[in-house]
Structure 1
Amino acid sequence: MEHSHKDIYVIQNVHLALDILFLLEKKPHTIEKLQEELRISKPKLQKLLNFLHEKEWISYDEENNLYRLGIKNFELGMAYLNHLDIKKVSKPILDEIARKVRENVYLTTRVAYEVLYIERSEVDRNVKILSRYGRVLPLYASASGKIYLAHFDKRELEDYFRTIKWIKHTPNTKFPHELMDELEKIKKEGYATNLEEYEEEVVSSAVPVHDYAGNVKYTITVVAPSYRMKKEDLLKILAVNMKNSTLNFLKVVEKYT
């Protein structure tokens, strides 16, 4: 079947649009960097970027002149995850942890430079925290995010710290140099904690779930009010409950990665 010149033009543009999204999935880019990677003219690239921005597939950070993934990717990702077996098979494990610790437990994955909470087991208690299911949080200010960062290589970390917009969410939010010191410890010990670094009066702990190649594919995280869960309690949960459950979860993940 032969394609007309118009068909070929459309197909080429679709390929280029997808290439843009794949590049932005790794990290935000300036238009100059995108042009360098894609090797196309700036007017043609700008036209594609304008279209993707209009349809909310990408967003533009005017302050830093950076293009990022847009909200449509999140919506499509959530639709995909709703059909993904990993959610179904992980639910009993999350339920088991939640039953033991009596706090909310989540499964997360990484989307570019953010953490996405894709499955949950939430408990019914008098004092509740805002559900994180379906939410996205920055890597630097969440226990799960620190797990992913701890497994970045040197170049990935340099790119990350150079491109993100750092926000002091609470008085406890770590500065980059403080976080760098913590990341080495996290990778060595195999867990991360977050002590009111994104939301005041909310703490969390997380452990990694690796795929068959040793990459961090998911994390399991417990989120609780700080008055109910002190640092020593978080560490106890990690040691007794979460790590054991994660070992069981590894066998499940290998089937779906």
Structure 2
Amino acid sequence: MIKIEQIRVKAAEKTMDILELIAEKPRSFSELIELMDSNKATIYRFITTLEDKGYVYKNQNDCYQLTLKLYSLGKTEIERHDLLGIAKPFLLKLVKEVKESVLISIFSKDTVYYLDKIEWNSALRIVVEPGRTAPLYCVASGKLYLSHFSDNELDDYFNKHPLKSFTGNTITDIYTLKNELVKIRDQGFAIDNEEWEEYLRGVAFPIYDYSNKMVAALSISGVSYRFSEEKIYSIVGEVTKITKKISELLGYVNTDRERGQKI
């Protein structure tokens, strides 16, 4: 009985070790064998089990990457603590001030994942709901996230994700989008001008954590005729202060942080 329990503990340890290695960055099968100092059959057994259970998937580079399943398992605790718990009071206050919908989003698998939304009480409401995803390159929060990518990360992203058009305003030229990302980094926020959905405009601001890493975005979205660029620029200063405060409560301390890396 003791031996069986020891085997189970070792199996659990190996499973967690593999997940932690993949969490650091996507790993190939051969990398996992080397890093785990194990044989092909053993790693294959563990990785296929994790894949079958929906915790990892193989990306276009033949490397294993985490899915959002681990996040979903801890969603209750995340909502109770940390990001959403800290941000919620600010969102409730902000939605009354801007009279538009306010959202919190995170990023996974090269997509934007909308975590929470507080809707302004209006007859015309936006259709972005918590749990929905969007491509990085055509929404404000996604472009903001891309503006933090290095040259190599951007090239890898563009190689894997052709820039297809969703509306007449979607940026589908890489050079144009790179210039847009430089502008976003310089000004500290991003605007989506009906690039994902017609008649929907948004603006996004970064949220950083204790490691000075951008971990989320606070976005404000509304129908374009009402949420004009003039209105957006009028609230930039106030929303920047709010996201800075949320970041500080998450442990962010470097107020002079350079935004992203040179593209």
CA distance in 1 between counterparts of 2:244 and 2:130 reads: 23
Q: CA deviation at 1:222?
A: 0.5
* Alignment deviations for residues 171-200 of structure 1 (CA, whole Å, 9 cap, x no partner): 414444433222222121111112233333
CA distance in 2 between counterparts of 1:150 and 1:217 reads: 13
Q: Secondary structure at the match of 2:121?
A: coil
Q: CA, structure 1 residues 250+231, in 2 after alignment: closer, same or farther (shift >3 Å)?
A: same
CA distance in 2 between counterparts of 1:231 and 1:37 reads: 50
Correspondence 1:112-151 to 2 at 5 A: 113-151=110-148
Q: CA deviation at 1:23?
A: 4.3
* Alignment deviations for residues 129-174 of structure 1 (CA, whole Å, 9 cap, x no partner): 1133233333333212222222233444444445x44462514144
Q: Secondary structure at the match of 1:118?
A: strand
CA distance in 2 between counterparts of 1:205 and 1:152 reads: 19
Unpaired segments of 5 or more residues in structure 2?
253-263
Q: CA deviation at 1:104?
A: 0.7
Q: CA, structure 1 residues 33+223, in 2 after alignment: closer, same or farther (shift >3 Å)?
A: farther
* Alignment deviations for residues 96-139 of structure 1 (CA, whole Å, 9 cap, x no partner): 22112211111223345333333332112111111332333333
Q: Secondary structure at the match of 2:250?
A: helix
- RMSD over aligned Cα atoms: 3.1
CA distance in 2 between counterparts of 1:102 and 1:40 reads: 57
Q: CA, structure 1 residues 22+135, in 2 after alignment: closer, same or farther (shift >3 Å)?
A: farther
- Whether 2:150 is the aligned partner of 1:168: answer no
Match of 1:83 in 2: 80
Unpaired segments of 5 or more residues in structure 1?
none
Q: Secondary structure at the match of 2:221?
A: strand
Which runs of 4 or more aligned residues in structure 1 lie more than 6 Å from their structure 2 counterparts after TM superposition?
none
Q: CA, structure 1 residues 80+111, in 2 after alignment: closer, same or farther (shift >3 Å)?
A: farther
Counterpart selection for 2:240 from 231, 238, 243? 243
CA distance in 2 between counterparts of 1:14 and 1:149 reads: 35
CA distance in 2 between counterparts of 1:12 and 1:156 reads: 35
Match of 2:19 in 1: 21
Match of 1:193 in 2: 191
Aligned length: 250
